[in-house]
Structure 1
């Protein structure tokens, strides 16, 4: 159940970043940075209020990574299923390979890139199979 709540958090932030980037015309960097700052402020507030920050840390990191996924260009029309599949792939990769990249920079961006590219690849394969 915790995994699906992480997927939902990822989906919401991913969609919100995409919406601000493409519909509201904020631009990818401004949309991602604005949400990342808000997420960072919420994390700092949770530290100050002595919430269980170890439990929440994964949620905050997943939301930060989701802002990177939302930076994709609008020339590729994303469907809601694309957001869901990308969020699921992102959370799965984060859960299973984040420990392997300890000490390396760019983990969230790399996982975000892989998850979005996987969805693009799936779309190409499925469109190729249509007759």
Structure 2
């Protein structure tokens, strides 16, 4: 996979992640409502693409990444996110999605599991860095 293609997926993940987080915390919609609202819009766009016979084999990963990013945006306000947290989580999510998603086939909850692992990695990195300081 080319670097630009991967970075475009990370950017897409970052935007949806931030949007869901913003709706959840700043607009006070709550995690489930924010995620469902963004996912509904993504689903409608996906259906329009199907009806227009667009090349979904290329965009399918983008839609899946966007849906997974809504799960990451559901995190509670207990942890104030910094911009770097969004970026690192987006990189981790996309890397895991690209390289480990075939491992989770048949388990169910692929996107939620990868989103959880991505967020936990960032939380863990923050704790390790605090202990080093």
**TM-score, with structure 2 as normaliser:** 0.96
Partner of 1:2: 5
Match of 1:122 in 2: 125
Aligned-partner SS, 2:24: helix
Q: 1:32 aligns with which of 19, 22, 35?
A: 35
In structure 2, the partner of 1:59 is: 62
Once residues 98 and 77 of structure 1 are traced to their aligned partners in structure 2, the CA distance between those partners, rounded to angstroms, is 28
Cα displacement string for residues 64-116 of structure 1 (whole angstroms, at most 9, x for unaligned residues): 00000000011111000000000000000000011122233100000000000
Q: In structure 1, list runs of 5 or more residues that go unmatched.
A: none
Report the Cα distance in structure 1 between the residues aligned to 2:104 and 2:123, rounded to whole angstroms. 24
Matched, 1:19 2:30: no
Aligned residues: 130
Q: Tell me how far 1:25 sits from its aligned partner.
A: 0.2
Q: CA RMSD in A?
A: 0.6
TM-score (norm 1): 0.97
Q: Which runs of 4+ in 1 moved over 6 A?
A: none
1:99 maps to 102
Unaligned runs of 5+ in 2: none
